[in-house]
Amino acid sequence: MPLVIKLLAQRIALGLILLFLVSGLIFAGTIILPGDVAQSILGQSATPEALANLRAELGLNEPALQRYLSWLGGLVQGDLGTALTSGRDIGESISQRLSNTLFLAFWAAIVAVPLAIFLGLLAVRFRERWPDKAISGVTLASISIPEFLIGYVLMFFFGVKLGWFYPTATAFRPDAALFDKLESIALPVATLTLVVLAHMMRMTRAAILNVMQSAYIETAELKGLNGLQVIVRHALPNAIAPIVNVVMLNLAYLVVGVVVIEVVFVYPGMGQYLVDSVSKRDVPVVQACGIIFAAVYIGMNMIADIVSILSNPRLRHPK
Amino acid sequence: MNDHLHFLARHAAADKLSRRDFMAKAAALGFSAAAAGTLLTSQARAAEPQKGGTIRMGLQGGSTTDSLDPALSTNMVALMMIRLWGESLVELNDDGGLDGKVAESYEASADARVWTFKIREGITFSNGKSVTAEDVVKTMERHSGEDTKSGALGIMRGIKNVSADGNNVVIELDSPNADLPYLLADYHLVIQPNGGLDDPTAAIGTGPYILKDVDMGVRIVAEKNPNHWGDLGHADTIELVVINDNTARVAALQSGQVDMIDRVPPRTAKLVDRAPNINVHSTSGPGHYVFIMHCDTAPFDNNDLRMALKYGINRQEMVDKVLNGYGSVGNDSPINSSYPMFTPAEQREYDPDKAMFHLKKSGHDGEILLRTSDNSFPGAPDAAALFQQSCASAGINLNVKREPNDGYWSEVWNAQPFCTSYWGGRPTQDQMFTTAYLSTADWNDTRFNNEKFDQLLLAARAELDTAKRTQMYADMGEIQRNEGGLICPMFNDFVDATSDRLGGWVENTKGQPLMNAYAPMKMWVKA
């Protein structure tokens, strides 16, 4: 057992080092963006005096390394700084945004993950027959269409023409009752589900099919178990590592990759916040969003790693 | 039609004037009984506002990074918020004149150098404090101070001194300016308690509504200010939702999630208008999409080359294809009929022969680089491509380079010698010319340096005789048309849309989109 703990500690330490490196990259990336913050805040209506005043106030005249170190220092203490443009505390603004994004991602995952795995199992059960082909065809088609277009199509038919759901998520209020919140995010959740479904479904199908070649599956079949039982009881547990991997990747995508969906459906999440801040060169906010996204991504992948370590005796007890 | 007659008609419709009196007064103004009668009926039908309810609007341009400080406001959403909670000294009315807001009235000294604004008596801020002349003075100081970041700094520069005199505010200028009240209608200059020095983002003002719930870049809720001095504002609650995506904004209107939107994309405006419960409104404004050349940089320092490019552009084609008809042709001057003292000049047409003639005369050979990006105006790359084609038939070799949207205003505009750009326009000629065409202007984005033009501008500013001023502005327009670095192919209309749930839209207002951003207050929810 201590070996497992050591392995886990290694994983977590690696994750933290990675996060530290990413912080450097994010900072460097925001510095090389063209234009400067003061100009972007004031826009076309900037006068040289106003620009100089704003630049001095924002501390843009200090050297980059000094700004990075003070930013990193604050970050370690959990202080994300204040937004340049509005002067508000970033941590405060982000926490609401992040919880909105997580809410959307959570419900999209609740729908998408079981559905993808179930469809994957179904596809294996009826492999090379019409249900398999239909499932693959539909999911592959939905992943091939750009996500914003799926969003527009759903918005047009279910929002405007049929009037079943709100076309945009503008009715979303963080403090509303759960059912009202779900109603207002129905279309974004549907869109996200369609986007991530194919990847997880195909991976589940491939992983299980791989296991299905094994001798013990043949034994199970000879024992007289029916098709679905064999898959669920014997094939699925042995295919869990690659499935968890792809599920985690997609969960990470649901958190960090929803920028377009949030903008299309006017959902007040992190993505919208990031887009606004990039276009206004609000560097501290961009950095804060970047580091949070990186943390989510690294965290999700770490969980996937840990699950595959724990689920695989060979990784648990390396020789 | 006569403004005074409209005024009377509104009064008659609002029962402030009997029908008989109205007809008699209309006749005295020289209108036939039939014309006056029609006007009265239309006004009566349009009138009868209903009180109460909620008006919801979906607007473009808001961002999480917006500030409630009016000095830092730059977009439509910020402007709309200011309109809700605050007021400037004066405000542009529907016909392009000025109405008193915080100032009840104003007057100029004979030389237009000293202006006195009388503060409206008995009005209060939404925090209950009375509005004093001192608050106005502090507001002016905050926007013109040494360390200000105010977007209104440019127009405050000509002010030498602002002082309170009892209930009056006296503004002294460096040089005469007959347009000062128009400048003070600027939306940044909203009057705040103690000038907003204590807390610029408090959103406390004298406006008809009070902000209740602000989630910047997402949604703003405002409720009627029970102590507002005027009669503006019909709905109890106004809700503003930021919807930057064009398709989502139109969908929200079509499905009834919001009652009004701005910036309907011209490409789909006709389709949107076909929906049974939606009205699309096109309002001409001073905004214009332009191509700007630096008059001091080769090859654009040669006026013949500039003329060649001016003759090489097909203005009508641009209005048809880039604006889909929601606009009007420009004439290489930033001024159009939305300005008070406009004189139309002869329309310059697309003429490849003349373009070729001027190109030969200029002696320029080789390609000309035009920079563009969608950020400069919607459809700018398309407009640049059209320009390229129309130039090609005149033998001008235009090379279009697409620049990134990010940083366009800092890296390309006002930095590169030839690019696409946009001007929102200003309420007066003087302000427009002073902002961008005076040789010493910060934003002289065409590097235009014409002594005669500068002299005329300063002379016109001090001229209180409207006829003489009009002539001066006509002369300046002519100089600009024939020598300037501005190629102005089109003026874009504001295209807004409202649902049938609302009444009270007024056509052809001046200033900003959505009835100069007063639509949610001047419109009402139909019972």
Q: How far is B216 from chain A (nearest CA, A)?
A: 9
- At residue B11, the pLDDT reads 46
pLDDT of residue B12: 46
Does B41 have pLDDT greater than 60?
no
Residue B216's pLDDT band (boundaries 50, 70, 90)?
A: confident
ipTM above 0.90, yes or no: no
Which is more confidently placed, A245 or B351? B351
Closest residue in B to A272 (Cα) is B64
* A315, pLDDT greater than 80: no
* Residue A277, domain CATH: 1.10.3720.10
Report the alpha-carbon distance of residue B57 to residue B79 in Å, rounded.
Answer: 14
**Closest residue of chain A to B407, computed from CA coordinates:** A35
Q: Provide the pLDDT for residue B13.
A: 47
CB A104 within 8 A of CB A189: yes
Of chain A residues 26-45, which have a CB less than 8 A from chain B?
A: 33-36, 39-45
Higher-scoring residue by pLDDT: A264, A38: A264
Farthest CA pair distance, chain B: 72
Chain B CB within 8 Å of residue A273 CB: yes
> How many whole angstroms separate alpha carbon A196 and alpha carbon A192?
6
- The pLDDT tens digits for A47-71 are 777 778 777 776 777 788 888 888 8
Question: Considering CB atoms only, which of B64, B252, B257 is closest to A277?
Answer: B64
Domain count, chain A: 1
* Whole-number pLDDT of residue A50: 75
More confident residue, A238 or A17: A17
* A50 contacts B148? CB cut-off 8 A: yes
Which residue, among A98, A170, A259, would best test binding to B if mutated, counting the most B CBs under 10 Å from its CB? A170
Q: Among A81-90, A254-263, A310-319, B146-155, where is mean pLDDT lowest?
A: A310-319
Residues of A in contact with B377 (CB under 8 A): none
Searching chain A, which residue's CA lies closest to the CA of residue B150?
A: A50
Q: Kindly state the average pLDDT of the residues B309-320.
A: 95
Our CA-based measurement puts residue B408 at a distance from the nearest CA of chain A, in whole angstroms, of 8
Cβ-Cβ contacts under 8 Å, B58 against chain A: 170
Residue A2, chain B, CB below 8 Å: the answer is no
Q: Which of A35, A155, A268 sits opposite B251 (nearest CB)?
A: A155
Mean pLDDT for chain B? 88
Chain A residues in contact with B215 (beta carbon < 8 A): 268
Any domain includes A124 = yes
Least confident of A299-313, B41-55, B77-91, B425-439: B41-55
Report the percentage of chain A scoring pLDDT > 70.
93
Q: Is residue A227 part of a domain?
A: yes
User: Is the pLDDT higher at A315 or at B399?
Assistant: B399
Can you tell me the mean pLDDT for B361-372?
93
Q: Are B143 and B152 in contact, with CB atoms under 8 Å apart?
A: yes
Smallest CA–CA distance, residue A47 to chain B, in Å, is: 7
Whether the model clears a pTM of 0.90, i.e. scores above it, the answer is no
Domain of A193, in residue numbers: 90-316
Option in A39, A44, A264 nearest B245 (CB) = A264
- Chain A residue numbers with beta carbons less than 8 Å from the beta carbon of B156 are none
- Predicted confidence at residue B352, as pLDDT, reads 95
For the stretch B474-524, pLDDT in tens is 999 999 999 999 999 999 999 999 999 999 999 988 888 999 999 999 999
- Contact check, Cβ <8 Å, B65/A45: no
- B217 with A167: Cβ contact below 8 A: no
- Long-range contacts formed by A181-188: CB under 8 A, 24+ apart: A181/A103, A182/A107, A185/A103, A185/A104, A185/A107, A185/A265, A185/A267, A187/A151, A187/A154, A187/A155, A187/A158, A187/A159, A187/A265, A188/A104, A188/A108, A188/A151, A188/A261, A188/A262, A188/A265, A188/A267
Chain B interface includes A99 (CB < 8 A): no
Q: Is residue A294 part of a domain?
A: yes
**B63–A276: do the CB atoms touch at under 8 Å?**
yes
Cβ <8 Å between A160 and B413:
no
- Report CB contact under 8 Å: B72, A155: no
Percent of residues, chain B, with pLDDT higher than 90: 67
Between CA B218 and CA A295, with CA A175 as vertex, the angle to 5 degrees is 70
> Which residue has better confidence, A42 or B319?
B319
In this prediction, residue B293 carries a pLDDT of 96
pLDDT digits (tens, 9 = 90+) for A15-53: 999 999 999 998 888 777 666 667 766 665 567 777 787
pLDDT of amino acid A177: 87
A167 touches chain B (CB under 8 A): yes
A101 touches chain B (CB under 8 A): no
Q: CA-to-CA distance for B172 and B217, rounded, in angstroms? A: 39
B101 confidence band (pLDDT: 50, 70, 90): very high
**pLDDT reported for residue B195:** 92
Say how many CA atoms lie within 13 Å of B377 toward its Cβ. 26
Question: Of A75-79, A122-126, B464-468, B481-485, where does the model show the most confidence?
Answer: B481-485
Mean of the pLDDT values across residues A265-278? 85
Residue A63 lies in a domain: no
pLDDT tens digits for B2-33?
A: 445 454 444 444 444 555 555 555 555 555 55
In chain A, the residue whose alpha carbon lies closest to the alpha carbon of B149 is A50
The pLDDT of A120-132, averaged and rounded, is: 89
Tell me whether residue A28 is in a domain: no
Q: Is residue A268 part of a domain?
A: yes
Measured in angstroms, the CA of B21 and the nearest CA of chain A are apart by 49
Best of A32, A33, A37, A47 to mutate (most B CBs within 10 Å, chain B): A47
Residues of chain A with C-beta less than 8 angstroms from the C-beta of B247: 152, 155, 264
Q: What amino acid occupies position B181?
A: P
- pLDDT tens for B55-65 read 999 999 888 87
Question: Is A214 contained in some domain?
Answer: yes
Q: State whether A86 and B66 contact (CB < 8 Å).
A: yes
What's residue B16's pLDDT? 44
A30, part of any domain: no
